[in-house]
Amino acid sequence: MPPPPEDDGSSSARTPLIPPTPPPPGRAVARLHPLPLLVAAAFAASCHLLVAPAPSYYRSLFLSLGSNDTAAAHLHALTLRPHLAGTEANARAAEHVVSALSSLSFPTRVVPYSVLLAYPVHRSLSLSAPGHATTPFALVQDTYPGDPYAAVSAEAVPTFLAYAASGSVAAEAVYANYGRPEDFAYLAARGVDVTGKVVLARYGKVYRGDIVINARKAGAAAAVIYTDAKDYAAGEAFPDGPWMPPTGVQVGSTFKGVGDPTTPMWASSEGCERVSVAEAMATDDMPGIPALPVSGRDGEAILQLIGGDVAPKDWQGGDGSPVYRLGPGPAVLNLTYIGNETMATIQNVISVIEGKEEPERYIILGNHRDAWTFGAVDPNSGTAALLELAQRFSELQKKGWRPRRTIILCNWDAEEYGLVGSTEWVEENRAMLTSRTVAYLNVDSAVYGAGFYASATPQLDELLKEASKQVQNPDNETHSLYDLWMASDSSSMIKIGRLGGGGSDYSAFVQHIGIPSIDISMGSVASMWGLVALRLSDEEILPFNYSTYAVELENGAIDINKRLLGVPVSSSPLQKSIAEFKRAALQMDSEMKTRKVWNPWRNNPLKVRDLNERLMMTERAFTDREGLSGRPWYKHLIYAPSLHDDYGAQVFPGVDDAIQMAERTNTSESWRSVQHEIYRIARVINQASQENYLVIVNKKT
């Protein structure tokens, strides 16, 4: 694969850029605490609109426009039928999104891609053991009495694991806890041979694809993954409560890569180069063995017939569960899975609100549309929020608002299969997005419980906190979303996660091209989402703060230092680069605070643009063209998924990968690789410092 072209700021030939459920009706919508709207409106009127209202006026107005009814109507329309990627039902859902956005007079288009998806053709699983009759499992999720969607539920895809290998296996069962590398290492240490066996593992700690791949690497012939009651049934089950019912099954993808498997590292555009389906299915990112998901009830039935040594205490189930044993056998699982891996068309929906002063600078908001079943929470609570937010933006336009920078609304497809739609779009528009994008704001599931949670690249931490103080808690009119956020953690401290995991569509933006990003869920999401977007789109100087980033780098280095005690590796280059970055970040933040009080550049848009350019591009400096060793798609050297858990966010992933290898092999060459990775990180941090220092050097000019 040739390196990406140098960016000239031009658009690609196909660019689309230029022409539990939302709160019930009656719940209070979020509103801004200060700045009464009438005062701002009266001021604008007194000026006879000769002077445009300040951005703060439009932010106040935006927060006053929330409509639970609008969001609820969109959610109902989107979730009438199961709508898996590549199906007619999902195409219908795309039509609803297009219609909703087009009705607001926003230029909107569908961007299709042909990608490799997988669907089940045949599945069967039975359990046998000496002295016991063979038990065939139905592999069906029961509906509940009075379920209004019972009939249409038949349209849902049967329970399966996408991209699992086709085949039949009959072998003794081995229990492998959560299916992590350390779990298989424990089995090996206890003399439990996994080779040729069917591994039974439970969801809960790592990505399901990692579970199956770990089983394959341990020599297993097939894998079964179940939802243990201890982790997923700790209270009242659906529909009476939020917990998994006895026959509930977690389906999902087992592909460890990102994007279309037939176009690794490049976009799945029309007429492009592709690897064959057989080649795509044979890569190490695919599970490579047959696998099926089963319910907690079926998993417990299997565990009751597994013998051998008693599993450790932390491998056991909750109260009332049988004693879990390691095996192998005498339980025998007979598993068959036949899948259909086929090229299918997916549809991203892209809508543009063009900016006035800086139309070539983009604030991108994204949410995916496809779902394994109905998608009421994941993802269509987020889709409904996106459409409700768009309605508010349209109302602002009617009041005279036009964003300073362009806002792009994106509704992705095939996220569930491996972040496919967003990844292909980013890969196709990589050069343009790298040069023009200010930030990406992601929402997967808007609401699915109490509290508010957010993850971000660190320069956006303060913006999130400030915005949350202005949004009302939808469940308590006397408190802000910030208060709810504080209460969401027992330590009464704001905790912001990081975007190193591969769990949603921010992945391509952060980990592939280095775009500052946010991922939020729960609470008054549309208000929070839109308020952050308005501040990023309308403020003259971008509200970024890199001091927090310096603290994050320092914390990551502390962990690395602990792991390097007593080994022939020096972390000095990393320490020096972080210290330099911290000095640059503090100076930049001080400069930013000064300019908020007195800005000598108000009549010099070129100076403002230069400052914003460097604020925007600092995150790009953390990327490296070669990517992580052995994982070249991941270009960001600060944040990427853990090597053994695609959902887990890892700081300094290249160093972590190298340390894990060195700890296993303990060779001089492996420790030299660790040292090399430390130097690589030091270089990109130094590069980021230079982006910051260039602002400081020019501050008096």
Which residues does 341 contact at the CB level (< 8 Å), separation at least 6?
116, 117, 118, 163, 277, 280, 281
> How far is residue 210's CA from residue 486's CA, in Å, rounded to a whole number?
33
Cβ(297)–Cβ(304) under 8 Å? no
> How far is residue 418's CA from residue 164's CA, in Å, rounded to a whole number?
13
> How far is residue 526's CA from residue 524's CA, in Å, rounded to a whole number?
6
In 3D space, the residue among 206, 243, 253, 251 whose CA is nearest the CA of residue 226 turns out to be 251
Cβ(349)–Cβ(411) under 8 Å? yes
Query: What secondary structure letter does DSSP report for 314?
Result: G
In 3D space, the residue among 208, 223, 186 whose CA is nearest the CA of residue 335 turns out to be 223
Element (H, E) at 349: strand 332-353
Query: CA-CA-CA-CA torsion for 443, 446, 451, 456, nearest 10 degrees?
Result: 0
In 3D space, the residue among 254, 270, 539, 530 whose CA is nearest the CA of residue 416 turns out to be 254
The phi, psi pair for 295, rounded to 5°, reads -75, 170
Cβ(457)–Cβ(499) under 8 Å? yes
CA distances from 130 to 133, 282, 300, 307, 331 (A): 8, 36, 18, 12, 8
Q: Which two tokens stand for residue 158?
A: 């049967």
Element (H, E) at 677: helix 668-697
Ramachandran quadrant class, 24 (left: phi over 0; alpha: psi -120 to 50; beta: rest): beta
Residue whose structure tokens are 């497809």:
413
In 3D space, the residue among 487, 508, 281 whose CA is nearest the CA of residue 410 turns out to be 508
- For this structure, is 415 an active site residue? yes
> How far is residue 156's CA from residue 362's CA, in Å, rounded to a whole number?
37
Question: Residue 362, exposed/middle/buried by CB under 10 A (0-12, 13-18, 19+)?
Answer: buried
Which residues does 38 contact at the CB level (< 8 Å), separation at least 6?
none
Selecting among 172, 341, 388, 415, the annotated active-site residue is 415
Dmax over CA atoms of the chain, in Å, equals 90
Q: How many CB atoms lie within 10 A of CB 166?
A: 16
> How far is residue 161's CA from residue 82's CA, in Å, rounded to a whole number?
17
Residue 118 CA from chain centroid, whole number? 21
Give, in degrees to the nearest 5, the angle at Cα 360 between 400 and 618: 115
> Annotated active-site positions, please?
415
